[in-house]
A and B are shown apart, each in its own frame.
Chain A
């Protein structure tokens, strides 16, 4: 029934979580403190787990012989549907945390909506994910505050990180036609409500440490929902997909 609209939406959710999780894996052994090694890997683990749930559902709906792994490891960048924000390079810890926070605030609002979804499968996955993302958001929000309100250096780095990422936030309050249809049917999260909740959350954390809130970003050409990515995604996938691509008949 909603399959044509639902699959791209599940891919948006799954691919975003997977790509964000992949970026967190890159931090392994390189975090500023051991506690952060633990936390970054913990958040990444949650996200890859969520990605697997969304992709499994997408694969069932597609019913074309592909499973979640095939969707994760055999799709090219033009077929990936993740948010542009999450594919951005890690940069320094300020970029990583600003990116995580902007994503978490969106993710939290989306999952809150999805926990009430008319699709019971979606509601179930979202309810579990929401518990995890509540923690992610708390943590990343606190890091934005610590860095924004910490030392002069950390503040300068956070002030540099925000504008570098901000243009990609246009996608966080956007929606495709099929998302709007799904939202009207009570299946997807309401994009207008998500955009508003996201902005409120971001504005509150920024204001708490006097970080200026940039004006709303505007759309320009790139669009993760259409598979129009930045040049960063191709490299990320080349690394992530190397083994299944090189050994297509292998069982791991």
Chain B
């Protein structure tokens, strides 16, 4: 999940009877699965929640370029280098696409990016973990993009039209990345050396839990979920999605010949699901608060890119203005 802990600012969900006629009309549309479009009336809290969620999602795509960018100059073959470059390029494109969707809600891209740089806006906790070996590129593709897809597939049915359409488009590319990431790991495990197999297992050990955290806090600690679900911004709870991810990922893990760093992970025939151990929620909240391993570096890199590029953007604006004047004259 690329957007975790999105505040709705709503303490209690109103019943239809408590709503104003506008609100009731809106909620009935939602209940009838009619997409909300940019010019439709919507509760202010719905608008703000979506701005927060879509901007978090967009920020995640952009910050998410950094852990992979860390290895793009060191990719071990021309094929892998090309794959990684194509993936990073897609992510920048996803970021642009999501910022556009967000702007249909009346938000300003530059303002929202400034919030990211000041630490006010969040992005996915996963990108605060360092990429320490090449195997991390495969593990990020497989686990991180895999977790993102589980979330985004559901978001294709989210109630806000522009967001839903962005998700449909983005999902196509993400599934491709995920398969590619898994294939990288499979190649290392099946055709690689012992050192490479150890590299893969080590990457899984480090990224397994952070990937599970991408779905956000457990349902009992997710106060904003109920309203987001009532508005059908969210379609399934954090824990449901996390369970689905684990259920589909464990067989892939076994196919790799690797293990998860979770002694409690076990098939539960009665439930028809895998049981798994407790997430380190302290770590999750620390990372979300800005105290993860790479939070400072990630934000500093992005802030620096935009600040040190200001003169370039100013030049582009000045030149465009001069050309316009010239054409008008």
Contact = CB atoms under 8 A, between A and B. Distances in A.
Interface of A: 21-22, 25-26, 28-38, 41-42, 44-45, 48-49, 51-52, 55, 68-69, 72-73, 92-93, 145-147, 149-151, 153-154, 157, 239-240, 242-244, 247, 249-252
A41 B89 contact: yes
Interface stretch (B43-51, B66-74, B140-148, B228-236): B66-74
Nearest to A32: B309
Given A29-B301, A32-B309, A251-B191, A38 B89 contact: yes
Given A29-B301, A154-B315, A22 B78 contact: no
Contacts of B305: 29-32
A35 B74 contact: no
B86 interface: yes
Contacts of A251: 187-188, 191-193, 196
Contact of B319 (A146, A242, A250): A146
A28 B88 contact: yes
A49 B193 contact: no
B305 to A, nearest CB: 5
B92 A34 contact: yes
Contacts of A26: 73
A232 B184 CA distance: 31
Contacts of B193: 247, 249-251
A69 B316 contact: no
A247 B82 contact: no
A34 B73 contact: no
Contacts of A69: 77-79
Given A41-B85, A45-B85, A252-B80, A28 B72 contact: yes
Nearest to A35: B96
Contact of A243 (B76, B85, B310): B76
Interface residues of B, number: 53
Contact of A38 (B68, B74, B92, B313): B92
Contacts, number: 148
A146 B315 contact: yes
Contacts of B78: 48, 51-52, 55, 68-69, 72
A28 B301 CA distance: 10
Tell me which of B62, B85, B301 has the highest count of chain A C-beta atoms within 10 A of its own C-beta. B85
Given A31-B305, A37-B92, A48-B81, A145 B313 contact: no
B96 A34 contact: yes
A32 B85 contact: no
Given A45-B89, A68-B78, A247 B309 contact: no
B312 A32 contact: yes
B315 A151 contact: yes
Given A41-B92, A250-B192, A252-B134, A22 B85 contact: no
Contacts of B319: 145-147, 149-150
Contact of B311 (A154, A239, A244): A154
Interface string B305-329: 1101111111111111010000000
B72 A150 contact: no
Given A34-B95, A52-B78, A25 B72 contact: yes
B207 interface: no
Nearest to B305: A30
B74 A150 contact: no
Contacts of A73: 76-77
A240 B73 CA distance: 6
B82 A151 contact: no
B82 A37 contact: no
21 contacts: A25-B72, A34-B92, A34-B99, A36-B312, A45-B86, A48-B85, A49-B82, A52-B78, A52-B82, A68-B78, A150-B318, A154-B314, A243-B76, A247-B195, A250-B76, A251-B191, A251-B193, A252-B76, A252-B80, A252-B184, A252-B187
A240 B192 contact: no
Nearest to B196: A250
Nearest to B109: A34
B65 interface: yes
A109 to B, nearest CB: 25
Contacts of A37: 62, 65, 88-89, 92
A45 B88 CA distance: 10
